[in-house]
């Protein structure tokens, strides 16, 4: 009996369906298909290694990679840095409008001076 799709094609479709419809944090494609793993897919929004961004050198695009910093906050950080000079310590970020103690605690493991 001949079927239209191979086992690898069906498994590949199942992997993609699982990826797009959630429930898995990481799928190793190669292991599912019985081959050497070539790619690991990470679902967006899942725990990932924190980025490390130097707030004295970072562009707005780099600052936005920090969890908790959006476009507006990135712009404020750069404007503060341009006006007042380089940050001497991570705690100096609290001087930027919108960064209070709680936000500083959430981002301090992702930024450096």
Q: What is the pLDDT of residues 26-80, one digit of tens each?
A: 444 444 445 444 444 444 444 455 679 999 999 999 999 999 999 999 999 999 9
Q: Which of 14, 20, 11 is nearest to 41 (CA)?
A: 20
Kindly indicate the confidence band of residue 21, based on its pLDDT and cuts at 50, 70 and 90: low
Burial 80-105 (b: 16+ CB within 10 A, else e): bbeeeeebeeeebbeebeebeeebbe
Within a 13 Å sphere around the CA of 81, how many CA atoms are in the beta-carbon half?
A: 21
Domain boundaries along the sequence of the chain: 7-42, 53-112
Q: Which of 47, 91, 99 is nearest to 75 (CA)?
A: 99
Is the model's pTM score more than 0.85?
A: no
53-112 carries CATH number 1.10.150.320? yes
């Amino acid at each position: 009996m001949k079927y239209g799709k191979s086992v690898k094609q069906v498994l590949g479709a199942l992997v993609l369906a699982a990826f797009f419809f959630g429930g898995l944090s990481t799928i190793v494609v190669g292991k599912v298909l019985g081959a050497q793993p070539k790619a690991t897919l990470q679902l967006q929004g899942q725990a990932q290694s924190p980025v490390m961004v130097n707030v004295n050198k970072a562009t707005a695009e780099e600052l936005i990679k920090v969890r908790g910093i959006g476009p507006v906050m990135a712009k404020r950080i750069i404007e503060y840095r341009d006006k007042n000079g380089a940050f001497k310590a991570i705690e100096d970020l609290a001087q930027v409008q919108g960064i209070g103690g709680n936000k500083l605690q959430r981002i301090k493991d992702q930024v450096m001076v």
